[in-house]
Chains A and B, each alone.
Chain A
Amino acid sequence: MAQQMGDGHRRFLQTMMANGVVDEQGARSLHQHCCETHNTQYARDKLDDFIAAINSKLQPMFMQIRRGMSEDNGQQYYALVNMAETDVTRMSSDYADNELELFRKTMDLIVGSESGKASSTDILNSADTLTTKKLKKSETEHLLNRLVHGQWLSEKRGEYTLSTRCIIEMEPYIRTMYQDQVKVCQICHNIAFQCQICENPVCGIKIHNPCVARYFKGRSEPRCPACDDFWPHEIPEIRRPKSQSRK
């Protein structure tokens, strides 16, 4: 039951393009707004069909509106993704070559880390090893701010993680680039950076923090889904969307 592409769909797509990433609540209100603006039939539970109609038209362009989970709060976000991209070229209009190189190095640090975070100190050190034009300390700090502002990185207490938008948009690139090196969540099977790891040396499976919260909810004795060893980490609470204040 594919919907026809109308101005409502186009407005939705344009807004997605302008925003980079949209949370689930935002997508729902946008869906409603677009349907009402263009007198299209609206039903609250038809968001997936609505997006599918857009995606079928985006397919020949190797683009898709994809959904992904925030590693921070476990909520769903939507982003417009270029499926054909094999490099960080989407960013290339906003960042210089050496800035992109630093971003790649930051990504290397994040992928390679156990916590899924890179400290500003480590990033500043990598700025010294750039093969393209070097970046000064102040320039690096300024660049990191721009990357956060541009929704590619998130920052908390001097540590940087890949933003939800970045993960959704660059998933194909990351999988290709890092292959076995990138962690994958045992529960949802998506790539994972901030996660808990099974301490059994023979097992070592990874689970996203929000996926841990959901999977182990209500279990008195949490056990690894793969090897059945006791799961030693603190089980986080499931975060509810209502109280979320958007940055």
Chain B
Amino acid sequence: MTQRKRLSTARQQGTLGTQEEDDDPTFTQPSTSQVQKGLEKLTPAQVDQKTAEVVQYFLVKDQKKLPIRRADIVKHVVKEYRNIYPEIMKRVTRTFDQVFGLKLVEIDTKNHVYILINKLETVEGPSSITPTNPKMGLLFVILSVIFMKGGVVRETLIWNTLKKLRVDPGEKHEDFGDVKKLVTDEFVRQRYLEFVRIPHTEPVEHEFHWGQRADVEVSKAKILEFMGQLHEQDPQSWSQQYREAHSTTDSSQASTSSQR
């Protein structure tokens, strides 16, 4: 198998940020029979070892909640075991599910990008061990606004809402630092939010949507509950939002009493 190292700069993923390597053009998903043949040549211990390494790699990369690219996994970890890549990923997915309570999701099937999503609901624990993260509080507020407004809001609404809460995107905040960067860059990279340019706007304006991670990790029902408390109203009084929050089998929260 000849290695054709095409440095195709045309593959630059602008939206994914800086310094990302090109998707490896030489890696094509091996067929089932190729995987079978590959497995026959390896000992179970070797496959286990490689699976463990991929799990480790994911955990380290996921500390920052940033997406992980298949190209990087193959290049840095799987390497010469690439012919059994699908089998390794199958085991890795199962491990995350059964051992860690995490769901491995391919959020970009074209460029093969993964994130790890928490299947367990965020519950406040003993405060010394599970300190509340102020960034999540801020995120929750933003997600709430977007949800209550039907799923899309212009950026100005978000900035005004935050200003009312004394979180000024123009100023450096004590807990959040550069608020604008946190909201439009960090939360977006982590796939909690989407920050999309509105065409034909001058000066350029953007709108916010929920990101894929938020879709799975954040409970709309909880947001509605919170809104209800805030406004001293019954959550059901927002009929449209209520329907949306309770319609889908929210793949988000695994029920707290689920047993495997």
Contact = CB atoms under 8 A, between A and B. Distances in A.
Nearest to B118: A14
B99 A58 contact: yes
Interface residues of A, number: 33
A10 B100 contact: yes
A7 B52 contact: no
Nearest to A246: B128
Contact of B260 (A6, A19, A90, A92): A6
A246 B128 CA distance: 9
A10 B99 contact: yes
A243 interface: no
B12 interface: no
7 contacts: A10-B120, A29-B129, A30-B126, A30-B129, A37-B123, A61-B56, A94-B63
B189 to A, nearest CB: 15
Nearest to A13: B100
A47 to B, nearest CB: 14
A14 B129 contact: no
Given A7-B101, A10-B99, A26-B128, A60 B63 contact: no
B93 to A, nearest CB: 14
A214 interface: no
B166 interface: no
Interface in B220-258: 254, 256-258
A38 interface: yes
Most buried by B among A13, A38, A39, A84: A38
Contacts of B164: none
Contact of B99 (A13, A30, A82): A13
Contacts of B129: 15, 19, 22, 26, 29-30
Nearest to B95: A61
Interface residues of B, number: 32
A93 interface: yes
A26 B123 CA distance: 16
Given A38-B257, A61-B99, A84-B52, A93 B126 contact: no
Contacts of B254: 7
B130 interface: yes
A5 B258 contact: no
A115 to B, nearest CB: 30
A66 interface: no
A11 B120 CA distance: 7
Contacts of A37: 123, 125, 256
Contacts of B99: 5, 10, 13, 57-58, 61
B162 to A, nearest CB: 26
A15 B131 CA distance: 10
Contacts of B259: 6-7
B32 interface: no
A17 interface: yes
Given A13-B99, A15-B125, A39 B257 contact: yes
Interface string A13-33: 111011100100010011001
Interface in B49-107: 51-53, 55-56, 59-61, 63-64, 95, 98-102
